[in-house]
Chain A
Amino acid sequence: MGRQGTEGVRAGGPRDAVCGVVPARTARPRDTEELAGLLAEADRRGWSVAARGGGTGLDWGGRPPAVDLLVDTRGLVRIDHDAGDLVAEVGAGTPVSELTAVLAAAGQRLSADPVRAGGTVGGMLATGLSGPRRLLTGALRDLVIGMTVVRPDGVAARSGGRVVKNVAGYDLAKLHVGGYGALGVIASAAFRLHPLPPALRLVELPLPSLAHAERRLALLRAGGAVPAAVDLDWPARGRSRLRVVLEGTPAGVDARAAEVVASLGGGLPAEEVRVSGELPPDWGLLPAGGTLVRLSVPPADAPAAAALAAELGGAAGTGARTTGSARAGALVTAFPPGADAGAVSAVLEGLRSRPGWSATVLRAEPHLHDAGIDLWGEVPGLEMMRAVKRAMDPGHRMAPGRFVTDTPHTRREERP
C-alpha cells in the first residue's frame, strides 16, 4: 500500500466553500485506495475533513467552524451494472445523471427522485433526501444494499453486499445515508434497481381548501390505484394542487388514472383535472436558492402541516411553499431567497411544537447561520447518535459542524 499521502492536494478556493467556509486544502482521490490513504494522512495530521461531490449540497447542513481538507469525490467514478440481477455498484463521484442514462439504456432505473440537479451519487446519499416517488419502492435509504465507506482513520470497510436479500452483519449504510459524512466518506454503494415502467400517468388536480385536500387524500387511500407518488404542492398563496403518479402497463395506468379522476375529480370542473403521460423535467427538484426545511409528519397531517407552514410564514412576513409526498408525510418547506432569520425561526418553532412532527433545516442561507438558527430542533435518539459518533470518529474531525452530532452546542459539550 503506497498510494497515499498529500500529493495532489491543492489549496481550497471560493468554489470549494462549505456553507461559505473556504477549506484550507482540497484533494481528488482517483479510487477507494487513494481515498483511504488521504484520510489516513488527514488522521495523522489531525485535519478536519468534509466531502463534496457535485457541489450542489455544499450549502446544505450546518456551517463548519473550519475545514482543513475537503475531499472531492468526483474522481470516484464507476458504474458496475448487473442488468440481469437488477443491481448496480456505483462510485460515489458518479453523476446521478450518468447513472440514470446508463440504467435507462438497459430499461432500468434507480427508483429515487433526485432533489438537486447536477449532483453525484455520493452527495445524494450523504444528504439522504429523495423525492416523492417513494410509495412503491421506498425512499433512497431503502434502495441501498451495500456500501463501502472510508472511516475517519483511513480504513475502508464494506457492509451489505450485492444481493438484495442479505441479513449478514449490521446494515451500516443506514447510518451514512443522510449522515453528511459525519462517520466517514462514502466511496461506493450498491443499489437495487427496478425496471422502467412501460407507462406512466400523471393526474393533476387543484385543491381549493384544506378540507378538500384531506378528503381527496382519504379517497385516494381507500381506492385501489396504488400510486407511485402522491405529491402535494402548497404555495404560500394561491391554489394548492395534488399530483398523483401511476406506473404500470399502458392499459393498466389508463384504467387506474380514470379511477383516480372519477374518485378525486368530483365537484371540480373537468378542465381543471389534467392527465398526462410524463413527468415535468423539474419533477422532484427543490428550489436551487433559499432556505429549505425538511418537514416530517404523520401522513394524515400532511395537508395541515403544509397549510400551517404557509400560515406561519404569512404571519411572520415571508412566503413558505411546501411540497412533497403527502402519502408518506415527507415534505419540504421552501422559503424565498433572503427570507428573514426571525421569520424562518418563527415557522420552525410553530411546526416543531406539534407532537410527532419534526422540522430540520436542510439548507440555511448565510444570514441564518450568522443568526445562529437552530437547524435541528429536538432530535430523538441524539444520545445514541453521539455514542456512535464518539466510537467511529473519536477525534470529531469528520464533517465538523455539519451534522446534528456536532452542532455548536454538542461541540461545547464533547470537546471541552
Chain B
Amino acid sequence: MPETAHPIPAAVAALVPRLREICGGDGVLTDASRRRVYDTDGITHHREVPGVVVLPTTAAQVAAVVGLCAGSGVPFVPRGAGTGLSGGALPHPEGVLLATSRMRRIVEVDPDNECAVVEPGVTNLDVSRAAAPYGYYYAPDPSSQQVCSVGGNVAENSGGAHCLKYGFTVNHVRGLDVVTPDGVLTRLGGKAPDSPGHDLIGAFIGSEGTLGIATRVTVGLTRLPERTVTLLSAFTSMDAGGRAVSDVIAAGVLPSAIEMMDALAIEAAEAAVACDYPAGAAAVLIVELDGPAAEVRSQVAEVTRLCAAAGAFETRTAADADERSRIWKGRKSAFAAVGRISPSYIVQDGVVPRTALPEVLRRIDELSRESGIRVANVFHAGDGNLHPLVLFDDGEPGAGERAEAVSGAILDLCVEHGGSLTGEHGVGVDKACKMPRMYSPDDLATFDLFRGALDPRGIANPYKLLPTPRLCGEVPGVRTGVHPLVESGEAEQF
C-alpha cells in the first residue's frame, strides 16, 4: 500500500476536504504514487514526498489554498515546472505542494506596449513563440526554456546565455500579481513601468518562493534583432581564450553571449554530438553578437581581430540560423555529453569577477590534479559565471564525497575572489547552509527580517534560501529579530 509508505500527515489530511472544495477533486493529489512524482525538482539528490499536491487553475484558488495554510500553520511550497537546480521546489513532507502547471494561459500579447501578460505556468519559450508574429521575443532564455515556467523564472530571477547583454528576469518584469503567505492576492505594477512606492516587484523576483507565489506576470518584450552573428574561436590554451574575453570587453563591445569550453568539455561534446569543433582546441569561445546590421558588421570584424590577436588559431563565423545552431550544438549538449565520459557528475554554479577568471581556472585545475577528480569547464565567460562539472564514478566508494569536496572548494574560490555562491541556479535547499560563506550574520539577519515581514508564520517554502539550525546545525549567523539581551536593555548591539 503506497498510502502506508507515505501517509498524509494529520495536519495536512485535515485540509484535504477544503482543498478539494477549492481546487476541485482532480486538482488535489493524495495518492502516494501520484505525490511521489513531485518528490524532486531538477536536483535529484534531494527528495521528499509532499503531504499533498494541489493544482490550482486560478489566482483565487491559489489565494484560498495559501489562506488555508496560513490559518492552520501548514507550510506550502510553490512549484513551477520543477526544473530548478537548487532544490527550491523540494516539497515539504508535512506541507502542501502548490504547482502552477495548470495555470498556462497567455492572457495577452500587447505589441503596442511591448509586453505580454501570462499566467505563471506558461513556459518561457511559449512567451517568445507568442510574441514572434509581432517581431518580438522574451529576452531571458534559461537553458531549460522549452519547459521551465515564467513563474519559476520569477522565483529564481532566471537569466540565460544572453543575460550578458539583456539582463535577467528582474530587468524585464513590469507587473506581478502575487499571493503573499497570508493568502492575500495583490497586484503590483502592470504595463506601466516604475510602480510607485517600494519596488516590491524587484524584491519579490528571485525570492525563491519564500515570499509567496506569482499568479500573473506582465513581461516586457524585446524586438527581435535585425542581425545575429555567432563566432566560434579556437585557442591552444584556456589562458589565451580568457585573454580574448577580457580584450573584447575592454574594447567596449557588448556581445549578447560569450561562452567558453575547455578541452575536456569539448571532448565530451564531440563524443556525444560530433559538433566538429576545430581539432586540437584546448579552449573554444562562442561569441554571439546581435543588433542593427550596421553595428553587428563592425563588431564581428573587431571580435575576430581581437581573438586572432589573443592567439586564436581558427575563427568561424555563422550568420544564418542553421550554421549558428551547429556552433551552439556542442555548447548546449555539454552537460548531457559529460554523462558519456563519466558515470556521474556534479554541476556547480558560481560566479567570479571576470578579471579573476584566469586565476580561478588555474586554481580549479590545481584542485583537480591534487584530488585526481576530473573537472570539465563549460561557462558563461562574459559574466564570470562558472559551471564546473565535477566528474566521478558513483560506483567507487568515497568518490562522491571527494567530488563534493572539490565542488565545495570551487565555490569557496568564487567567494574568496569576490564572487557569488550562485549566478543562476539559486540557493534553495542546496546552498542555504553555504550562505554564511558569502554574507555576514548581520546581512543574513536582515534578509530574515525582510522574509519575516511578509511571512511572519514561516510557512512559505521554509528551510530554503537562508540557513536554519534544522538544516545546517548550529548557525551562529542567523538571528530573528532583536537579541533578547538587547531588548531587555542588558546589552548593546553594535
Contacts and interface: CB of A to CB of B under 8 A. Distances in A.
Interface of A: 1, 4, 36-37, 40, 82, 84-87, 107, 128, 138-139, 141-142, 151, 153-159, 161-172, 174-175, 177-179, 183, 194-198, 218, 221-222, 224-226, 248-249, 251-252, 255-256, 294, 296-300, 328-330, 356-358, 360, 376-377, 379-385, 387-388, 390-392, 403-405
Contacts of B425: 167
A381 B184 CA distance: 11
Given A162-B418, A249-B295, A167 B423 contact: yes
The listed residue with most A CB atoms (<10 A of its CB), out of B180, B194, B352, is B194
Interface string B94-137: 00000000000000001111100000000000000000000100
B252 A107 contact: yes
Nearest to A195: B252
A336 B44 CA distance: 63
A172 B203 contact: yes
A169 B465 contact: yes
11 contacts: A36-B494, A86-B249, A151-B446, A163-B352, A163-B383, A221-B223, A226-B223, A358-B195, A380-B186, A392-B453, A403-B197
A392 B197 contact: no
Interface in B409-439: 418-427, 431, 435, 438-439
Given A165-B159, A175-B198, A221-B111, 4 more contacts: A157-B440, A169-B435, A183-B198, A224-B292
Contacts, number: 273
Contact of B194 (A221, A222, A294): A294
Interface residues on B, range: 35 or more
B170 interface: yes
A174 B202 contact: yes
Nearest to B112: A300
Given A298-B191, A385-B197, A165 B385 contact: yes
Given A159-B446, A165-B380, A196-B252, A379 B196 contact: yes
Given A163-B351, A167-B427, A298 B298 contact: no
A255 B198 CA distance: 41
B190 interface: yes
Contacts of B170: 142, 171, 174
A384 B418 contact: no
B348 interface: no
B291 interface: yes
Nearest to A249: B298
B203 A356 contact: no
A252 B112 contact: no
Contacts of A36: 494
A156 B442 contact: yes
B206 interface: yes
The listed residue with most A CB atoms (<10 A of its CB), out of B195, B380, B425, B426, is B195
A340 to B, nearest CB: 24
Nearest to B191: A298
Nearest to A37: B494
Contact of A380 (B157, B187, B294): B187
B190 A298 contact: yes
Contacts of B422: 166-168
